[in-house]
A and B are shown apart, each in its own frame.
Chain A
């Protein structure tokens, strides 16, 4: 089987924004794609290349970009369709902030731990780096991810994976376990919740159960081998594996232990889930299992029938992905995809399935299962449980429709 690679429309769009490419008329005998391409020697073996650089950059042929929704640019989305494997390059990790990105001098920044502790302590960044550290690869997803397709807002066919679900990313995070700092400060066993507070203009706050603090909460200063990017919380953030992204408070300046939740604005008026029974879930922190096919996807065009690889990512905030099933006939039959190693808990997992497109229309979809036995639900099942205007946690099955001419469109829930 030939390894599918030529996905022509994507590459055209990558050469610039869609609008710009559309405005450039190709020269006679030249496609728009060729006209927009960077200039390179006709034969790279016949000319010396540029020398070593202090900081590398991408090939000029690759221009993945985050996109922001809305004029206020309070978030940006990861270009999932442009990524292989499971790691999100740090400069493409999604953003969501509520008071802009603060400029913080790491030499001036401190983290305070106080409240129900024996010893209220202040840590400098040097202090935090002195503690026994830990690295792990974990995903982070905003619980608002996918809301646009759940609520069926606007155009529902010409959507890229980035536009649908770009508020999820995976990094290797490095830091000191929060449990280590809790022991250092002498945390009271009676503490039930802790407040995490940021040093941004929103002075962002969330309350987190202490069980999470003792389990796998990380005070993170590193991301993918380098210090955190400013928009990811430089110089230090909370990182809560498997938990909705908002709770992993960035630019962390303060942790306070208490006997009850603080009932901050984000966790009461915002990140709560209205239910059809007239209540709303509060502290719905865990992200349920989800998957998304990233290739082929809009705006790809399959150049012809034959073998293609269906690729995507699956993840669960509760543990490991145990299987991903893929359907190429709108959910009538399913086939287990191959999961690439490593399969890590609370982390993007790459899945793949060779697929022979025989031409004609085909609806492809993926369905994740995690190690709690949870199976990614259909849209109808989720809709019945949550109602059409619930506010967060949109993890239903997504579908793509391959048209007879090879053009791929988003197909919502696959109906």
Chain B
């Protein structure tokens, strides 16, 4: 009669033998589970490090606005309201009417209309003469402005400022209402001027 210990040993031996017989098919079916080299174990499949992000956690910092309008929040604004906000929060750096100061000039659609930026050193790039997407103005303003209070503008304020800057550049009418539906439909004057990088190394300097 076998003791319990002997039975356990016998059982383990059977298990090991069975495992050895089955191993080739196990190996084929999935990554090795028996004493894998660490490097092998760490390639090609999730390691279970990190934790699932909740919808709320994502929403809290997923602030970007894409060129097709994805990410734009509810809310709306007008140029008239934007002018008031601009005077209070923006003009000290960007100058009256977006004409520039310690920070970038924002308004000027006329100069640069020939798009000679590469050959005319006097040209200043502005929202009106250079920026290809109106949504970028919303994204950047709500993200990083006002410079000393970044990220504090409410959606209505941001839409208003965007409407104001676009109107000053004569891209939208003075009475245009900017919101998540209208802003992505604004076509910027320089929208078609941008080309994907064609440098590839090699002999030719482009």
Residues of chain A having any CB pair with chain B under 8 Å: 98-99, 112-114, 119-124, 127, 130-132, 151, 183-184, 186, 195, 197, 201-203, 205, 253-254, 256, 258, 260-265, 268-269, 272-276, 278-286, 288, 316, 318-319, 370, 372-375, 377, 381-382, 385-391
Whether a CB of chain A sits under 8 angstroms from the CB of B119 is yes
The digit string for B149-187, where 1 denotes a CB below 8 A from any CB of A, is: 011000000000000000000000000000000000000
Quick one: given A265-B139, A373-B202, are A119 and B195 in contact (CB under 8 Å)? no
- Complex CA gap A391/B120 in Å reads 11
- Complex CA gap A202/B49 in Å reads 29
Complex: chain B residue closest to A371, CB-CB: B201
- Complex CA gap A52/B43 in Å reads 43
Contact partner of B57 (CB less than 8 A), chosen from A98, A112, A130, A319, is: A112
Q: Judge whether A201 and B194 touch: CB under 8 Å.
A: no
Contact partner of A130 (CB less than 8 A), chosen from B49, B53, B135, B139, is: B49
Q: Judge whether A381 and B205 touch: CB under 8 Å.
A: yes
Complex: chain B residue closest to A318, CB-CB: B201
Q: Judge whether A279 and B52 touch: CB under 8 Å.
A: no
Inter-chain contacts of B45 with A (CB < 8 A): 183
Inter-chain contacts of A263 with B (CB < 8 A): 66-67, 132-133, 135-136
- Complex CA gap A131/B119 in Å reads 49
- Complex CA gap A121/B57 in Å reads 10
Inter-chain contacts of B66 with A (CB < 8 A): 258, 260, 262-263
Whether a CB of chain A sits under 8 angstroms from the CB of B206 is yes
Inter-chain contacts of B150 with A (CB < 8 A): 99, 201-203
Residues of chain B having any CB pair with chain A under 8 Å: 39, 42, 44-47, 49-53, 57-58, 61-64, 66-68, 114-121, 123, 125, 127, 130-133, 135-136, 139-140, 143-144, 150-151, 193-203, 205-206
Q: List 12 A-B contacts (CB under 8 A).
A: A113-B53, A114-B62, A121-B50, A122-B57, A132-B39, A256-B64, A279-B195, A281-B194, A288-B201, A382-B205, A385-B205, A387-B118
Q: Judge whether A120 and B52 touch: CB under 8 Å.
A: yes
Inter-chain contacts of A377 with B (CB < 8 A): 205
Complex: chain A residue closest to B112, CB-CB: A274
- Complex CA gap A261/B114 in Å reads 27
Q: Judge whether A183 and B201 touch: CB under 8 Å.
A: no
CB distance from A391 to the nearest CB of B (A): 8
- Complex CA gap A151/B68 in Å reads 36
- Complex CA gap A203/B60 in Å reads 14
Complex: chain B residue closest to A288, CB-CB: B199
- Complex CA gap A258/B70 in Å reads 11
- Complex CA gap A264/B143 in Å reads 11
Q: Judge whether A202 and B133 touch: CB under 8 Å.
A: no
Inter-chain contacts of B127 with A (CB < 8 A): 269
CB distance from A239 to the nearest CB of B (A): 20
Contact partner of B132 (CB less than 8 A), chosen from A119, A268, A316, is: A268
Quick one: given A253-B61, A262-B67, are A183 and B144 in contact (CB under 8 Å)? no
Do most interface residues of chain B lie in helix, strand or loop, or is the interface mixed?
loop
- Complex CA gap A49/B200 in Å reads 56
Q: Judge whether A275 and B50 touch: CB under 8 Å.
A: no
CB distance from B33 to the nearest CB of A (A): 19
Complex: chain B residue closest to A374, CB-CB: B201
Quick one: given A260-B67, A268-B131, A387-B118, are A282 and B194 in contact (CB under 8 Å)? yes
Quick one: given A132-B42, A374-B202, are A121 and B51 in contact (CB under 8 Å)? yes
Complex: chain B residue closest to A253, CB-CB: B61
Quick one: given A197-B64, A205-B64, are A385 and B47 in contact (CB under 8 Å)? no
Inter-chain contacts of A186 with B (CB < 8 A): 46
- Complex CA gap A268/B52 in Å reads 33
Complex: chain A residue closest to B131, CB-CB: A269
Complex: chain A residue closest to B206, CB-CB: A385
Q: Judge whether A202 and B53 touch: CB under 8 Å.
A: no
Inter-chain contacts of B203 with A (CB < 8 A): 373-375
Q: Judge whether A121 and B136 touch: CB under 8 Å.
A: no
- Complex CA gap A202/B143 in Å reads 7
Inter-chain contacts of A205 with B (CB < 8 A): 64, 139, 143
9 new A-B contacts at CB < 8 Å, known A114-B62, A119-B46, A319-B201: A99-B144, A112-B61, A202-B144, A268-B132, A276-B119, A288-B201, A370-B201, A374-B201, A389-B123
Q: Judge whether A274 and B117 touch: CB under 8 Å.
A: yes
Contact partner of A256 (CB less than 8 A), chosen from B47, B62, B206, is: B62
Q: Judge whether B125 and A269 touch: CB under 8 Å.
A: yes
